[in-house]
Structure 1
Amino acid sequence: MKQAKLYEAHLMTSDLERSIQFYKRLGFTLDYVIEERRVAFFFLGDVESKENLLGIWETDKEVPRRHIAFSISLDDLKNSIDWLKEKGIKAEESFGLPGTEPMVHAWMPAASVYFSDPDGNSLEYISVLENPPRRELGVVQLSEWEELNK
């Protein structure tokens, strides 16, 4: 996993609309807002590159949970759960799906595996997929995604 690179970062805000306007002023490209989750996703460059993603989450909590994602190849991602297990690290359930295989965020699309560091920070291995987005699918297991995209 030495070839991993930083893919995205997430920050908290007390006012999502104010933050959306601020990051748009900085020249970031607003790509997707999920109102019911109070989150906005920006790309720091072109949306087509699907790189350098920033998520802004509205919260009323004083101590926000932090999250970092590392971009890796799809082959490495498919092997990452076993690789993490060998290191004594468990892949975690996320978005209601078990951590037994990578999951796909169909709106991007990208496949992910989630785990935590000893301080409870959320970490993610992610691989952007070549298929077109299918936002209506939400989050699905990678095996389901591959079956739907044969």
Structure 2
Amino acid sequence: MGLGGMKIYETHVNTRNLKQSIEFYQSLGLELAYVINERRVAFFWLGEAGKKEQMLGVWEVPADKFVTSHFAFGVTLEELMKIPSFLEKKGIELRPSFGLDTSEPVVHAWMPAASYYFADPDGNSLEYLALLEGEARPEMGAVHLSTWNEVNGNHDKRSV
């Protein structure tokens, strides 16, 4: 039995400093939902205002138990194109990925999706990701958006 409408409701990352992480994730626009100080965890709502369809949990753990992880925020391509200036205003640097610089989004041609990568204060790998129209081209690997657009006959970086 397939569950075609299934999606991830909740995911979690670890932190070494809960207060710092709360401030960081709020700076990205996440709504703080609930903090349980005794358990050293904070929960954030993601998605459209008032819908409460997805949640991020951030758990403070001792340094010797800390392990980095990764997750991606889904956005539109139009929103993705604004991410560099959005993060720069917050003092957050984009990270090169898959051997490509941060001059433009990286396209994972097998999906296809365009992404920008960055990190939270603990080094967890975070990503803003926009699904792209068109057929998957896994043979291309990871390329800049301009290369993806050229191969697909689209010369406007902002459209797909």
In which range does the TM-score fall when normalised by the shorter chain? Answer: 0.5 to 0.7
Does structure 1 residue 93 correspond to structure 2 residue 99? Answer: no
TM-score (norm 1): 0.57
User: Which residue does 1:142 correspond to in 2?
Assistant: 145
Q: C-alpha distance in 2, partners of 1:111/1:136?
A: 16
CA contact (8 A) 2:68 2:122 kept: no
Note closer, same or farther for the CA distance 1:143–1:124 as it changes in structure 2 (3 Å cut): same
Per-residue deviation, 1:149: 0.9
Question: Please, which runs of 5 or more residues in structure 2 have no aligned partner?
Answer: 1-7, 12-64, 154-160
Does structure 1 residue 104 correspond to structure 2 residue 118? Answer: no
Q: C-alpha distance in 1, partners of 2:9/2:139?
A: 24
Q: C-alpha distance in 1, partners of 2:120/2:114?
A: 20
Q: C-alpha distance in 2, partners of 1:8/1:85?
A: 27
Per-residue deviation, 1:65: 3.1
Q: C-alpha distance in 2, partners of 1:73/1:100?
A: 18
**Equivalent of residue 125 in structure 2, options 122, 125, 130:** 122
Note closer, same or farther for the CA distance 1:8–1:111 as it changes in structure 2 (3 Å cut): farther
Q: C-alpha distance in 2, partners of 1:86/1:7?
A: 29
Per-residue deviation, 1:64: 4.7
Q: Which string of whole-angstrom CA distances, capped at 9 and with x for unpartnered residues, describes residues 46-76 of structure 1?
A: xxxxxxxxxxxxxxxx965300100000001
Note closer, same or farther for the CA distance 1:112–1:84 as it changes in structure 2 (3 Å cut): same
Q: Which string of whole-angstrom CA distances, capped at 9 and with x for unpartnered residues, describes residues 86-107 of structure 1?
A: 1111111010001221010000
Q: C-alpha distance in 2, partners of 1:126/1:66?
A: 16
User: Which residue does 2:80 correspond to in 1?
Assistant: 77
Q: C-alpha distance in 2, partners of 1:8/1:133?
A: 28
Q: C-alpha distance in 1, partners of 2:66/2:137?
A: 33
CA contact (8 A) 1:109 1:132 kept: yes
TM-score (norm 2): 0.54
Question: Please, which runs of 5 or more residues in structure 1 have no aligned partner?
Answer: 1-5, 10-61
Larger Rg: 2
User: Which residue does 1:47 correspond to in 2?
Assistant: none
User: Which residue does 1:34 correspond to in 2?
Assistant: none
**RMSD of the alignment, in Å?**
2.5
Number of positions where the alignment pairs a residue of Structure 1 with one of Structure 2? 95
